[in-house]
Amino acid sequence: MSYIRSYLNRLLLSIVVVTLSIGIFALPAQATAIYEIPVVSAGVPTWVVDKAEVLSLSTKGTVKGTLEQLAKQTGKEVRFVTIHRLDYGETIQTFTDKLFKKWFATPEEQANQALIVLDNVTNTIGIQTGTEVKSLLTEPIATSIIAETMPAPLRNGNKYNQAFTDATDRLVAVLSGKADPGPPVVISTPEVGRTYLKAEETEANRTNFLTIVIGLLIVATVIPMATWWWYQNQS
């Protein structure tokens, strides 16, 4: 009987450890849902929603002030949103489109709006604009902003503050009727001595950890049971 009690204690301990481990490592995997984003409407001075918490207070203050001034001078309203992780089956563009329609339901409300959303896990960026904004912020320029202007600092050490500052400067110039300053000039350099993990590497490590933990749980369950069975048959 003492052996059985010992076996059950070890099994219970294994289950507790695995449960706590899975809980700890699964928590960051929770996706950002549309309903978690504060509601914004045309004319409301909410310019930056940093759900992923990747921007400094200084950057948010500067960007907000610049976009506020742009709205007063031109009537064009630009908003930035950051999120932490997309839901399964969602892309950054589908998320952006849904949020844009939620915030601005009618073509009239959408006309002078521009929305840019970044997911900090994949560093992918989506953009959606209204008809009046499109007359200045053409599709090639909009695509260049989310494919060149913002990703350049992100590839160089996840410099989110610079990415949003650079995007703001370019958007303000274009929507103010000035010449497009264009994307940054990027000088390619070999990646040497990288000491950080990319998003996909972090995700792979989490998956590997869970696989190992589950394997240990199986071992912790099967071996004591097999030992107990052998012991019973020897009695």
pLDDT digits (tens, 9 = 90+) for 200-213: 555 556 556 556 65
**Residue 149: which pLDDT band, with cuts at 50, 70 and 90?**
very high
The verdict on residue 68 lying in a domain is yes
Residue 187 included in any domain: no
Whether residues 6 and 53 share a domain: the answer is no
Top-confidence residue, 12 or 216:
216
CATH number of the domain enclosing 110: 3.10.310.50
Please indicate, yes or no, whether residues 169 and 70 belong to a single structural domain of this protein: yes
User: Do both 120 and 99 map to the same domain?
Assistant: yes
Report how many domains make up the chain: 2
**pLDDT tens digits, one per residue of 99-139:** 999 999 999 999 999 999 999 999 999 999 999 999 999 99
Q: Are residues 102 and 127 in the same domain?
A: yes
User: Are both 15 and 62 inside the same structural domain?
Assistant: no
Q: Is residue 192 part of a domain?
A: no
Whether 203 and 162 share a structural domain: no
> What is this structure's pTM?
0.70
pLDDT, tens only, 3-33: 555 555 565 555 544 454 444 444 445 888 8
- Asked if residue 188 belongs to a domain, the reply is no
The three-state secondary structure class of 20 is helix
Q: Are residues 157 and 133 in the same domain?
A: yes
Q: What is the pLDDT of residues 48-63, one digit of tens each?
A: 999 999 999 999 999 9
Q: What is the mean pLDDT of residues 215-230?
A: 61
Are both 44 and 140 inside the same structural domain?
A: yes
In the prediction, which pLDDT does 173 show? 98
Question: Which residue range is the domain that position 94 belongs to?
Answer: 35-175
- Largest Cα separation within the chain, whole Å, is 91
3-state SS class at 130: coil
CA 106 to chain centre: 27
Distance CA 180, CA 43 (A): 25
Q: Which residue in the block uniquely carries the two structure tokens 């200084």?
A: 58
Q: Do residues 86 and 9 share a domain?
A: no
